[in-house]
Each structure stands twice: as structure tokens, then as C-alpha cells.
Amino acid sequence: MTVLTRRCATAATVEPDLAGMVAGVAADGDRALARYLRQEVGAHSPYYRRRLGDAGEAGWPRSLDDLSRLPLLSLDGIDDPACFVLRPDWTSIDRSGDPRLAARVAMSRLGGRQQRRSRRLVDHRYKPLHWTLEAGVPVGSSAADLERLGRLGARWLALAGVRPTDVLVGFAPPGPNLAFWQLVLGARGAGVSAVHLPPPPAAHEVATLRPTVLAGRPFDLARLLTAARTEGHPLPAVRTLLALGGPLEEGVRAKLSRLLDSPADAAVVAAWAPPGVRALWSECRPGAGAGEMPRPGLHAWPEAEVLEVIDPLSGAPAPPGADGEVVWTALGWSGTVFVRLRTGVFAMIDAGPCPACRRRGPRLSVVSETPAFLSALDRHPAVTGWQAELRTVGGREELLVFVSLAPPAPAGRVLRELDGQLSATQYVVVDGPTLDARMAAHGDRRVVDLRRR
């Protein structure tokens, strides 16, 4: 471990600028939302039945405007996750559920085979049998939800320009997290040949698989591509990097692009979603000649979610075209259902056609949470990963920077170069696994602000 220390205070803030937050955009029509809230959420969840019934004089929400009168929800405020799981029974289906399902259930009263069929149908659609952990909160998915996640995953891969002829090597952290499962199910749904390795993968192991697509966290991608070069295991056929896990800073994107030695049409495409959201938001693949074009943002799924943008302080809808905190509501999902979930993501939503792929539907332009003064870390060619920690010691603010370096890089020289651009209190050089452990301990955040505690 190499440590370079200098005693000085760094007072830069990592708080996003909250001024001028705004505007809400419906990601789907009012009718689909009203039907879902009435026939699914309210019908099969006593918790929501109480809250939706209290939505105002109009009773059940019939539009996005009605939805905005419901209380906001935060994952860290959930005491009993079981409240949010849809639990239909024959009575709730018959009384207020989907009429088509109610008709099937009515048939089941004849007993025998009809009853068994109805039971299987209801279990397939509603029984939560697959769980992920979203910021520590268990989120259940039914078999139908998993099929839907696979379809959305396949569409995500198509949006990213992944083709059935590609060979995908994924190294998203395996376990109860959305990115891993959407990648697995999406590749299967899209008919893409895929192998999934635990991160970080060994360069020689990946090279033998001859991938054309790599999918993983940005710093795992950078580490692999750096190792592939320095260890003599080139990956010449890779044409797509799927960057998962969180917002992709432009400096990191540029670094990943530089590390690719593949064809001119290679692309770095990001996809992620905050905890609680049921399918990753995804960039589209930039077309030829799009080099100087501003990034069109992340495509959302209008048939699977409703997005609002609010002023994070007042909770009021933000004016059209302005940014604010994104509030997410499930649409069409079973299992665990969140209505008006605060995501902690600050973004502007554009509902117009995408300038890159021309698809219609909402796109999120996320406000970067990484302070500009840390971009020097992304720009340095020898830095394969970093995490910054802001804290207060004895009344003074300090900035600690943990960095991992490409193996041949002389640590002393690299730190001196960084020190010329970045006023940190202390630099700590760590190996890749140590940095991984630090990232995992802080929810994959690259900037950890301990001053709030």
C-alpha cells in the first residue's frame, strides 16, 4: 500500500445543485396506470388499498395528477417489505381484480382440472418466487415478472446494439441484484451466447472466450482491458462495452473507449437503475457520426414504469423541462410493487423522440453526482479505479482518495501527477480487490460523503 499525505482541507461539495428543480413527465397513459392501480395494486394489497382509497375526493387515482397526490415512499423508510407484495386470493380477484382473470377463476369453481389450471395461472402471474435485494429491501418477482424482465433485457441489448451473433462475457457481480439477472435473462431472451464470470475476471480467461461484448461495472471493465493489454491477452473482437452499476461519467467513458482496440464502430453503452426500479434504464448505441453529438440520455420503459420529477424539498411536481428528483412507480409488475418511490436520482426527462435512435418515449438526463474536480482521476491513463472519501476531522474537511493503478505504473510518479491537479488530503494506493471491497461496502459509490454523519 502506498500512501501520499498532505495536510490541507478540501471544501468542495458533492451535493447536487438543488436549485431550479422541476417537471413531471408521465411515461405511460393515464388509462394503463389507473387500470393497474385499481385491478392489481389496490385489489391485491391491503396496504395500498388503504392508501389509494385515501387519494382524495375522486377516490381511486385515474391519472398522473391523481398519482401525484399519493404519499412518497423511500426504501430506507420501509419497515415491513411484505406489505408491498401483491397477495391475490379468489375473493380479491373476483371482487376487483383483472376481469379476464376473474372469469377464469369463476370457471375454477367447477373444480377439478379447471381449478388446478386457475391456481397455476395465478401463481405464475403473482407468486413471488425470485428475490433481489434493493438497498437491503427484498423485492420479489413472479414467474411472469421474470419473463417480462427477460423481454425488457432483450430489448435493452438490442438498444445497445448487441446482436444475436455476438458473444457476451458478463462479469456483473452475481447475486440478488437486478443488473446481473437482467443481463442473464436478457441474453437468453435475445438469443445471445453468453458466459457469466464473477468479477474481476482474469484477462487470459476472457481472451480464450473470444468475446465481442463485455458487460460489467466500469472499473471492472477498465481493469480487464488494462490487464488484457499489459499481460498480452488482447481482445481485438470486442465492439461493445456494457457499463453497469451506476451513472457513467464521461471521463470513465472516454477512458474505456481508449482502452478498446477494436473496430471503429465500437461503443460504450451504459445501463443502470436505482434500487427498487424493476428494469435497468439504458442508453442506446450511438450511430455512425454521433461522436460530437450530446448523449441522448437513458431510455426508460414506458410500458413498465411511470416517472415523475419533483422538487426534492417540497415534493411538488417540477416544471416541464427542468430537472429534479425522479420518483418511480411500477406499471404492470407483480411481486413487490412500489408506488411513488423516491429514487435519489436527479435528472431531467425528455419525452420527445431520441435524437440518436429516433425511438419515442422518456429519456433521463441524469445530473452527475461526481464533482468536476475529481475528473482528473478519470483522465489519468494509469488509474484503473478510484473512490474518494470526504470527511470532517477536528472541524476540518478532508478528502481521501483511494486509487488502483495499472500494474507497471510507478505509484510515486502517478500520485505526484494527480497531486498537481487535485487537492487531496491523502492518496492511498490499493489493489483491485481492496478497492472492490470498498466500493461494495459503500453501495458502489465513487464519492463517499461521511460529513453527513
Instruction: By CB under 5 A, tell whether 70 contacts Zn ion.
Output: no
CB of 14 vs Zn ion, minimal distance in Å:
29
**Residue 356 interacts with Zn ion (CB under 5 A): yes or no:** yes
Q: Are 210 and 167 in contact (CB under 8 A)?
A: yes
Please state the closest distance from residue 76 (CB atom) to Zn ion, in A. Answer: 32
Q: Which stretch binds Zn ion (CB under 5 A): 22-30, 35-43, 257-265, 352-360?
A: 352-360
Told to check if 354 binds Zn ion by CB under 5 A, we report yes
With contacts defined by CB under 5 A, name the span among 211-219, 292-300, 306-314, 426-434 that binds Zn ion: 292-300
Comparison of 259 and 284: residue with beta carbon closer to Zn ion: 284
In the complex with Zn ion, the residue whose CB is nearer, 61 or 247, is 247
Tell me: does residue 418 bind Zn ion (CB under 5 A).
no
Beta bridge partners of 175: none
Per the listing, cell 439477472 goes with 181
Site membership for Zn ion, residue 357 (CB under 5 A): yes
DSSP H/E element including 150: helix 143-159
Closest to Zn ion by CB, 62 vs 155, is 155
The pattern of x and - marking residues 246 through 285 that bind Zn ion according to CB under 5 A reads --------------------------------------x-
Q: Which helix (H) or strand (E) holds 67?
A: helix 64-67
At 164, the amino acid letter reads P
Q: Cis ω on the peptide bond leading into residue 234 (within 30° of 0)? A: no
Between CA 107 and CA 115 the distance in angstroms is 8
Nearer to Zn ion, 305 or 389 (CB): 305
Q: Which is nearer to Zn ion, 61 or 297 (CB)?
A: 297
Contact between residue 415 and residue 2 where contact means Cβ atoms under 8 Å apart: yes
Q: Which stretch binds Zn ion (CB under 5 A): 219-227, 296-304, 390-398, 400-408?
A: 296-304
Residue 227 sits in the site that holds Zn ion (CB under 5 A):
no
What's the grid cell of residue 211? 468475446
User: Cβ of residue 155: shortest distance to Zn ion, in angstroms?
Assistant: 12
Q: What's the min distance (Å) between Cβ of 357 and Zn ion?
A: 3
- Count of Cβ atoms closer than 10 Å to residue 341 Cβ: 23
The residues with which 399 forms a beta bridge, in sequence order, are: 390
Instruction: Supply 185's cell numbers.
Output: 435473462
For Zn ion, which is the closer residue by CB, 267 or 409? Answer: 267
CB of 347 to Zn ion, least distance (A): 15
Total residues contacting Zn ion by CB under 5 A comes to: 5
| Least CB distance to Zn ion at residue 323 (A) | 19
C-beta of 158: minimal distance to Zn ion in Å? 12
Distances (CA, A) of 449 to 345, 390, 453: 16, 5, 8
* Beta-carbon contacts of residue 329 (< 8 Å; ≥ 6 apart): 33, 67, 305, 306, 307, 308, 338, 339, 340, 341
Q: Does 172 bind Zn ion (CB under 5 A)?
A: no
Nearer to Zn ion among residue 28 and residue 398 (C-beta)? 28
| Shortest distance (Å) from residue 298 CB to Zn ion | 9
Residue 155 in contact with residue 271, Cβ under 8 Å? no
Pairing type for strands 167-170 and 213-216 reads: parallel
Stretch that binds Zn ion, among 7-15, 96-104, 125-133, 350-358 (CB under 5 A): 350-358
> By C-beta, is 36 or 281 nearer to Zn ion?
281
SS (H, E, C) 307-359: EEEECCCCCCEECCCCCEEEEEEECCCCCECCCCEEEEEEEEEECCCCCCCCC
Which residues bind to Zn ion, rule: CB under 5 A? Answer: 284, 296, 354, 356-357
